[in-house]
Amino acid sequence: MFRSKRFRRRSILLASLVITPGLSLSGCASLLHEGGAAGAGVAGASLAGAVTDSAAVTSGIGLGVNAAALAAVRSLEKRVHRTEQESIAAAAGPLNVGGTAPWSSGHLKVSIERNEHGTLTVSRLIQAGDLDCKEVIFSVDKVVKEKTARAFYTTIVCRDGEFWRWASAEPATERWGSLQ
Amino acid sequence: MTTVRRLRRSHWLSVAPLLLVLTGCTSIGSIAGAVTGAVSGGGSANPAVGYAVGIGTKSAVDSLTRYISRQRQRAGQDQIAAVVGTLPVGQSAPWQIRHKIPIGNQRGYLTVVRDIPNALAPCKEVIFSVYTGKKNEGPRGYYATTACQQERGWKWAQAEPATPRWNLLQ
């Protein structure tokens, strides 16, 4: 009896040892995925546990809730990131080739994504028939050791009615690597 | 009784690597999570503790796996971008990436097809081919991308796809 109590205490200590580096190692996105989904999964399972005695039914409901919560977190991430893409496209829309303009992602102060800003320029017009697109080079400016470090990226934006939208398609599936 | 136990253990040991191969790298986090979750669940009477430990471990191992894969992919991108930086428009050159752990080594040829004149930085458009390890085989594919010069050399510049096209990528 004494032994099993000690074992329990030890395993809880072990648990906290495993969790702590887990929390510090994992990036925000990973923890957001797992945390949000796990919280919902545990809540869903314990709620189901109160109603049914069957462990299989309980964990099945837990898993279902878990998957739904994960999908919700992903949809939130997509929506927040769309804001950034739309602000870049909107800033590039009125520019001609060679023109430059500042852009910023325009997230709320507290957001799951870092606010970013930089400069952008239009390098080429791509026009055919009704299509009205632009090739855009944009910088993401960061301050590292009191110096501005700029990373440059390229994308394509196209006009969709009165709005300009991000138009780059996904990479070829062979080049997804660990993107998925 | 002990023989039966031994047999069972050896059975599991032989199945475990097969599971890893079947499921691929991305499932390592889930497996680690399930194992630690089950172990701690066995130690503690409270299933929520087991669940929490499992999730914590899964999250940590997942992000570690992603971090390592991203580092490896970036190494490949840096090799291509570095070669792009040395070439004028219309010229071709070979490129290759040899990882420290020699899995997924790739090589091929690249051609700079266009300068992208713009107000911010020198940028180029490039088409590259990819050959995997085996000799006497044609290229596995041709791909197009862009690279720009930053303070610390040439870097891959292709930005992410539009969010409505993310679908399974996320």
In a domain, B34, yes or no: yes
Q: How does DSSP classify residue A22?
A: H
Residues B103, B158: one domain? yes
**Does the beta carbon of B2 lie under 8 angstroms from any beta carbon of chain A?**
no
Q: Which strands make up the sheet holding B92-97, listed edge to edge? A: B92-97, B106-116, B123-130, B141-150, B153-156
Residue B63 has pLDDT above 60, yes or no: yes
**pLDDT of the residue at A152:** 95
CA distance B139 to B20: 29
Residues A157, A92: one domain? yes
CA distance B154 to A133: 26
Residues B91, B159: one domain? yes
In a domain, B59, yes or no: yes
Mutate: best of A26, A79, A180, partner B, most B CBs <10 A: A26
Residues B100, B160: one domain? yes
**Does the beta carbon of A18 lie under 8 angstroms from any beta carbon of chain B?**
yes
Which structural domain range is residue B151 located in?
Answer: 87-169
In a domain, A151, yes or no: yes
**Does the beta carbon of B106 lie under 8 angstroms from any beta carbon of chain A?**
no
Whole-angstrom CA distances from A41 to A67, A72, B40, B68 are: 8, 13, 18, 28
Residues B59, B109: one domain? no
Res. A174 pLDDT band, cuts 50 70 90: confident
Residues A67, A105: one domain? no
In a domain, A12, yes or no: yes
Residues A94, A39: one domain? no
Q: Can you read off the two tokens belonging to residue B16?
A: 């475990």
Q: What are A77-125's pLDDT values in tens digits?
A: 888 899 999 999 999 999 999 999 999 988 877 778 888 899 999 999 9
In a domain, B116, yes or no: yes
In a domain, A180, yes or no: no
- φ, ψ for residue B130 (rounded to 5)? -125, 125
Residues A166, A102: one domain? yes
**pLDDT of the residue at B8:** 52
Residue B107 has pLDDT above 50, yes or no: yes
ipTM: 0.71
Q: How many domains does chain B have?
A: 2
In a domain, A68, yes or no: yes
3-state secondary structure chain B: CHHHHHHHHHHHHHHHHHHHHHHCHHHHHHHHHHHHHHHHHHHCCCHHHHHHHHHHHHHHHHHHHHHHHHHHHHHHHHHHHHHHHHCCCCCEEEEEECCCCCCCCEEEEEEEEEEECCCCCCEEEEEEEEECCCCCCCCCEEEEEEEEEECCEEEECECCCCHHHCHHHC
Residues A57, A112: one domain? no
Residues B17, B48: one domain? yes
B153 chain-A contacts, CB cut-off 8 A: none
- φ, ψ for residue A19 (rounded to 5)? -65, -45
A12 chain-B contacts, CB cut-off 8 A: 43-44, 49
Residues B108, B155: one domain? yes
Residues B15, B52: one domain? yes
Say how many CB pairs under 8 Å bridge A and B.
Answer: 177
Q: How many domains does chain A have?
A: 2
Q: Are B63 and A30 in contact (CB under 8 A)?
A: yes
Question: Average pLDDT of A129-151?
Answer: 89
How many angstroms away from the CA of A95 is the closest CA of chain B? 12
CA distance A21 to B58: 12
Residues A46, A98: one domain? no
Residue B78 has pLDDT above 70, yes or no: yes
In a domain, B109, yes or no: yes
Yes or no, beta carbons of A42 and B162 under 8 Å apart: no
In a domain, B108, yes or no: yes
Residues B144, B92: one domain? yes
**Does the beta carbon of A75 lie under 8 angstroms from any beta carbon of chain B?**
no
Whole-angstrom CA distances from A168 to A18, B118, B122, B132, B163 are: 41, 19, 21, 27, 9
Q: What are A6-36's pLDDT values in tens digits?
A: 555 555 444 444 444 443 333 466 677 777 7
For chain B, give the percent of residues with pLDDT over 90.
34
Nearest chain A alpha carbon to B44: A8
For chain A, give the percent of residues with pLDDT over 70.
77
In a domain, B153, yes or no: yes
Of residues A168 and A14, the one with the higher pLDDT is: A168
Nearest chain A alpha carbon to B125: A154
Least reliable range by pLDDT among A127-131, A140-144, B5-9, B84-88:
B5-9
Instruction: Show contacts of A100-105: CB within 8 Å, 24+ apart.
Output: A100/B119, A100/B120, A103/A138
Residues A102, A171: one domain? yes
Which structural domain range is residue A20 located in?
Answer: 2-77
Q: Which of A141, A132, A138 is nearest to A165 (CA)?
A: A132
Residues B109, B142: one domain? yes
**pLDDT of the residue at B142:** 86
CA distance B163 to B170: 10
Residues A171, A87: one domain? yes
Residues A50, A119: one domain? no
In a domain, A146, yes or no: yes
Residues B98, B155: one domain? yes
CA distance A134 to B113: 18
Residue where a domain terminates, one of A77, A109, A143? A77
Residue B19 has pLDDT above 50, yes or no: no
Residue where a domain terminates, one of A34, A59, A77? A77
Residues B45, B7: one domain? yes
Res. A49 pLDDT band, cuts 50 70 90: low
Residues A88, A166: one domain? yes
pTM across the whole model: 0.73
Question: Average pLDDT of A45-73?
Answer: 76
Which residues of chain A from 40 to 69 reach within 8 Å of chain B, CB to CB? 41-42, 45-46
Run of H or E including A74 = helix A55-92
Dihedral of the alpha carbons of B57, B58, B59, B62, in degrees to the nearest 10? 120
CA distance A21 to B105: 32
Question: Average pLDDT of A140-164?
Answer: 90
Residues A70, A99: one domain? no
Residues A112, A59: one domain? no
Q: Are B120 and A137 in contact (CB under 8 A)?
A: yes
Rg (CA), chain B: 23
In a domain, B126, yes or no: yes
Yes or no, beta carbons of A22 and B57 under 8 Å apart: yes
Least reliable range by pLDDT among A92-96, A158-162, B18-22:
B18-22
Residue where a domain terminates, one of A77, A97, A118? A77
